[in-house]
Structure formats: C-alpha cells, structure tokens
Structure 1
Amino acid sequence: MSTSQASPEYTLYLFWISYFSGKMQAYLNYKRIPHRCVEPQWSGELLREILPNTGLMKVPVLRTPLGEWLADSTPMIDWLEARHPDGKVIPDDPVQAFFCRLLEDYADEWLWRPALHYRWSYTTDQQALSRRFAETFLSSQPAPNFITAALVRRRQRLIYVDGDGVTAQTRAHVESIYLDTLDRLQKIFEHQDFLLGDKPCLADYGFFASMFRHFSLDPTPSLIMQQRAPAVFAWVARLWNARHDDAQLGHWCAAGELPPGWDAIIGDIGAAYLPYLLANARAWRDGRRHFDITIQGTGYRKLPVVQYRVWCRERLQQHYAALPDAQRAAVDDRLIAANALEPLLADGRIASGLYDDVEPPLCKPRRYGRLEMLRRFFSGTHWRVPVARA
C-alpha cells in the first residue's frame, strides 16, 4: 500500500538513537545516495504508514524514489550496491567479500546483546535514553514524560536484558564481548583507517551499527571506548564523515588477503557466534522457543529462539556455497584455523522460512483491521517473534 508520489530521493525512516539506523545513514552518506531522514512518531508514521507498507513497526526502513519499501539493513545494502555502484563497499575478490559478509553479520547480531545491555542495565544510560524515547517518537502519548520514560525502561529491560539471557552469571561475559571487540579493533585502527585498508568496506558498516549509536554515544560504553580504544573512537567519526569520492581515500588490501587483525575477530566468530547460530537454528528446527548453550565457558539459560538469525545462518551458507573452488579452499583454511567451518556447515541448511514469499529487502503491503492496528499500537513488532508477511 503506497500512495506516495515518486520522489527523486529516498526517504530513510529512522530513530536517531537506533542501532541499525546509524548504519544505514552512514552507508547512504558514503555512497552519496540522495535521501532525507524522517524520525516517525509511534502512533503516526510508524503505525499508519510504515506498518501497512512493511508489516513491521521497526526502523530503519527505506522508501525508494519509485515508492518501493525496503527493510533489513543487510539486504538493503546488497540491493543498493546493485543500483548505485559508485563507491562499492563489497569487494570483487570472493575471499574478501565472504569475510566482509561474515564480519558484518557477526557485528550486526553478536554485538546486539552487549549494546542493549549497556543501554538498559546501567542507571545513567537507561535514564538518558528512556527520556529521549519519551521526548521524541513517544511524545504524542497522553501520559507525562516521566511516566512514559519509566514504562520504556521497564519494557526495554524485560525484553533486551532479562529476556535475552543477561543475568548475574552471564553479565561479565556479555560485557567481555564489547571489551574484546574494542581491543581487536583498536589494534587494527592503530595502523589503518578502515577494516580492509584505506577505504570503508561492508564490515565497517556492520561494526558501525553498535559502535556509533550505542557504544560511542551512550554514557557508560562511550567512556570505556574513549579510554580503552581511542583509535576506535576516532574511526567512528572517520566513517561517519567518509564519502566515496574523497580523494584522500585509498584502497583495500591486495585481493585474496585480509589484514592480520582480522584473525582474532574470526576466532571470536568461531568460538562464540557460529556455535550460537547453530544452536539457535537447531532449536528453531525442533520447534522450541528457548534453548541453553555454553559459550566460552559461560552458561546461558533460556535464550530466545530468533527466527531472523536462522536466516542469517542460511545466508552465510549460501555465500559460502557460491565461492569458486579455488577461493573456497582459501576460505576453508581460515575458517578451520578459527574452528568456524564446522559450526557454519553442521546439520546442513536449516530453513528459517522467513522470506519464503518475498525477496528481501522488498516488502509487501498488507491490510490491517482496526483491532489489529490497536494491538500493534500497544505491542509493536517484537524483535525476535516470527514475522508473518502477507
């Protein structure tokens, strides 16, 4: 359902404090893709325009100049790369392209838990961000701001902290994901401007999602970044300001090669993220809603099964299967060294069913009755509940 007339520019619907909104803003800016940014109201554009056109009450979403609606930052970037080739962020080299996709997926999904933990577990952070919620896209709610902010704090903590496996027993490990990532990135950015060399690649934008809107701006993790990893703090600003036609930008490293600092990150992926994706996919296949897993010696209990992350694993397997034989051997060597090949391929393809009726990032419009609109007004779209697309 799109009644809007074609516009010469894209419209990016976003929240200015949103994880993936910052990623898409930086990417669109780098590519110099004409766009305008709109922060929707919960009971306004989000409910009445974005939901009917995407089936989601989430941002970022993108409306194209032709009136198409796009959602999900990872396939959105693929879609835009094909239509705006200047300043490409995905290398032509198959080895580099595969590992860029692997690091982007890891950064998007595995840094989510610590990013939401720091925002909603620490008093200073939750007070500041809940106030931001209340004064912007929830400002049309009838309750006073202090009540709205308190409700936001309770909801966000229940869903993204208590409901996502962050407990007294797991908290140190959750925070170590952030701290270790800072250390990995600090070593890289002490020697080069971006992850793959002297210009941004897809992996940069994966890490930027959490490192910009959450870790570099929320009070507690921002102070940690400034003190522990100043080169990462500088990279955040550098990537935000990067434009593909800047004459000062250089090149990626030679085809077939990866910077030495990537090995430690791929090691983290093999030790933690891919085993998690495998366990999540098995639980989805078995029809479970929760699962237990021990990651790097820390036991997580009753983690929610996330359909989207079953699709993430499918997609990584597809990119792996598409590698030419010669390049697959080189990829295998790195994955085996990181204990990452087995959890990537174990049990074969476990189908998510997430996008069976639509090709992402394109969205299908859907009609909602009054009762369903009322339900969505109060519940929104839960981040981990399976998505039904009409």
Structure 2
Amino acid sequence: MATPYRLFGTPGSLYTAKARSYLRKQHVDFVEMPAASAEFAALLPTIARWIIPVLTTPAGEVLQDGSVIIDHFEAAGPRLSAFPTTPIHRAVAAIFELFGGEGLLRPAMHYRWNFDDVNQPFIANDFVAALAPAGAPQAVKDQVFGGAARRMRAAMAAFGVTEASIPAIEASYADFLARLDAHLATTPYLLGGHPTLGDYGLIGPLFAHLGRDPVPRQLMQRTAWNVFRWTERMNAPEAQADGLGPADGGLFADDAIPDTLVALLRFIAEDFLPELTAHVAFANHWLAERPDDITGTSGLANPANRTIGVARFAWRGHEIATMVMPYRFWLLQKVQATAAACDDPRLGELLAATGLAPLLTLRTTRPVERRGHLEVWGAAR
C-alpha cells in the first residue's frame, strides 16, 4: 500500500485548520499525525524550525505552510479549485486569505487565553494530547502544557492583546461576526456555492480558536449561527449548501460582489489595514538599517526566528504594539500579484470604495521569498 499523505499539526492550531479543511474538501486521502510524533521530529532538520502544519506526500515531498500546501494541489489540478476563474473573485479570495490568517489573531488569542475558568480544562487536554509524548506521566503533561501556555500568552501580548485593548478587541470581533453572519445568511461560502481561498483563510481562526474553544464557540453559536454552520460546512468533505447559493455550486454570477461582502471588505480596511501599513513601514526602516546584501537570508542571527521587531500604531482608539513577521508580507505579495493580473476596472473601483486601494501599493523594499521552508528577503526592488 502506498504511503498516504501525512498532515502534521494539532487540533487547536489555526494554521493546521486551514490545510485540513482544504484537504478534506479536495477528498485527499491523508492521515493526520500529532506534532509530538517521532515522525514529525524526524522532519525538523528539513523544515529548519518547529512549525506547523507540515504535509508529507507519497512521493516524499515535504510541504510546510497552509498556503504552500494549497498551491501544491492547485498546480496538480484539484477536485474543486480554491482559485476562482474570474479576476475580481480571485483577488477578493486572496484578500480574505491574508486577512483570515493574519487579521483575526487578536480575538483568536484573547478568547483562548483570557477565560481560564471555562477554557482551560479543554485547552489543557487539547494541548497535552497534541504535544506530550504518548503515555507520558501527569507531571510531564503538566510541564508540556505549562510551557506551551507561557509561550502562547507571551504571543498573545505580542499580537496586541492587553488589558486596555480587550474591550476594543471584543467590540471589533462582534462587528466582524455580525457582518460575516449577515453575508452567510444567503450564501454557503464566501463567494457562492463552493469554498475558495478566502474561506480557507478564514476557517483557521474561526474554527480552531473561535469556533472550537468553549467561550468563543458559545459566543458564535449564540450570536452568529450562520458563521458557526459555515465552520461545520468547511470541515465536511461532502457538499453542504443548506439550500443556499447557486444550485450548481458555482460562484456569484458575473464576478459580482454583493453588498454584504462589500461590508466585510470595509471592515478589513478599517480594522487590519492600519496594522499592515505600520508593519510595512517598520520593515522598510529595518531593511534600510541593513545596507549589506542580505539577499536569500532572513537578515537575522537565527534564521528560524519569524519576527524582526515590534511596530506601534493606532487602532480603535488605542496605541498598540504588535510583532512584525515577514510571512505576512509574503501573503500580501500574493494579493498584489493576483490583483495585477486583473484587467477589470471594477476591481480598482471596489478597492477604492472599500478603503482597500492601499493594499496594491504597500510594499517592502525587498520582496519576501520562501526558500528551504523559511522566509527570506529577495533582492532589493
């Protein structure tokens, strides 16, 4: 029997959820493997750092990152492509992939780590099952969870979750949920009758953290049933439309963007664009301070480090500080490449009307590339 695809990750991982959903929808025969397994440990020299998800193929290829995994199957001819064939839908899908992976980190971390009385029994078991060695004694399990929790709470602060910002985070997330719920009341997926790249971007935070951890799951079930139902749909291999959308499973006709989706794009401009703008400005200053040629490297002493510093910016009446990761610029470049291939003037009009036009011109002075499963800087533009 051929070795199946193996997906290494954890049940509660935002980034694993993206890859898992895609593989299920494509009917890929895969086995999900715990990150605590010996098989994953054997992959660490290849991927050069501890990071998930990782997919190994029957041919022996190693793929790291949900977007890379999706690109791999799309190039081979998927069962149900994540890439719309029409240019405006394709660009909008890419925007939601970027926002889904990077723009919902504050609510995802806040609702996981700031409600210990309710969440912690579930989260502790979840982390231990995924990260502790099989058969480990309780003392080892406690140590594994304690170490993971400390790292994740530090990451939460680095994503801008503070005592002062929590009310704004909760208000922002409630606003987003209401807009997405209104949109999904009339369509099974973001762009119509089947999932696209934007759905796979959003499922990461909206399932793994916000649709699965006890407190945010109850919040979603209570206030945004259509979003919760969509998370179930996104984790099912079969088609589930609930009578919504085109009967043939197609996307919205004529490359159309309904008003409910326009409202979500406006939210991205209001809520996420200030952070992205600050991160690009920080990165360009950081690059300017390194005049030596760093092409093909991360420019860091430790190539496995994902963060180059901390940027400060105004967000919903607060000044917050968040860590700057070049990976985000790599996803931004994918949005820009997709938009550049669109010759329909309606895309520019849509981005201008929603406040997202700056997405097309926000650029680091060096592009971000991926080599050897790491983010590195390309040659200066």
Q: Common fold, TM-score beyond 0.5?
A: yes
**Alignment match, 2:150:** 154
For residues 255-286 of structure 1, the C-alpha deviation after alignment (integer angstroms, 9 at most, x for no partner) is 32123211111101212323321211221121
Mapped to 1, the partners of 2:201 and 2:129 lie a distance apart of 28
Q: 1:25: Cα distance to partner?
A: 1.4
Structure 1 alignment gaps of length 5 or more: 1-5, 365-385
For residues 235-272 of structure 1, the C-alpha deviation after alignment (integer angstroms, 9 at most, x for no partner) is 11122124369997622111321232111111012123
How many positions carry a matched residue from both structures?
349
Change (3 A) 1:147 1:94: same
**Alignment match, 2:222:** 227
**2:59 is aligned with 1:66:** yes
Are 1:215 and 1:221, in contact at CA under 8 Å, matched by a contact in 2?
Answer: yes
- Counterpart amino acid of residue 157 in structure 1: R
Mapped to 1, the partners of 2:226 and 2:19 lie a distance apart of 22
**2:136 is aligned with 1:121:** no
Are 1:163 and 1:304, in contact at CA under 8 Å, matched by a contact in 2?
Answer: yes
Mapped to 1, the partners of 2:240 and 2:231 lie a distance apart of 19
- Counterpart amino acid of residue 63 in structure 1: T
Are 1:111 and 1:177, in contact at CA under 8 Å, matched by a contact in 2?
Answer: no
Mapped to 2, the partners of 1:106 and 1:345 lie a distance apart of 17
Secondary structure class of the residue paired with 1:36: strand
TM-score by length of 1: 0.82
Mapped to 2, the partners of 1:235 and 1:353 lie a distance apart of 33
Are 2:284 and 2:364, in contact at CA under 8 Å, matched by a contact in 1?
Answer: no
Are 1:271 and 1:338, in contact at CA under 8 Å, matched by a contact in 2?
Answer: no
Superposed CA RMSD in Å reads 2.5
- Counterpart amino acid of residue 197 in structure 1: G
**Alignment match, 1:252:** 251
Mapped to 2, the partners of 1:337 and 1:222 lie a distance apart of 33
Mapped to 1, the partners of 2:140 and 2:55 lie a distance apart of 31
For residues 59-106 of structure 1, the C-alpha deviation after alignment (integer angstroms, 9 at most, x for no partner) is 111111211111111232122112133211211101110101111211
Percent sequence identity is 26
Secondary structure class of the residue paired with 1:241: coil
Equivalent residue runs for 1:252-271 within 5 Å:
252-271=251-270
Are 2:47 and 2:64, in contact at CA under 8 Å, matched by a contact in 1?
Answer: yes
Mapped to 1, the partners of 2:82 and 2:151 lie a distance apart of 36
Are 1:46 and 1:57, in contact at CA under 8 Å, matched by a contact in 2?
Answer: no
Match of 1:99 among 88, 92, 97: 92
**2:325 is aligned with 1:306:** yes
Match of 1:33 among 28, 33, 56: 28
**Alignment match, 1:320:** 339
Q: 1:197: Cα distance to partner?
A: 1.4
Equivalent residue runs for 1:1-390 within 5 Å:
7=2, 9-41=4-36, 44-47=38-41, 49-123=42-116, 124-139=118-133, 143-158=139-154, 160-243=155-238, 250-287=249-286, 289-301=309-321, 303-324=322-343, 327=344, 329-346=345-362, 348-355=363-370, 357=371, 363=373
Q: 1:179: Cα distance to partner?
A: 1.7
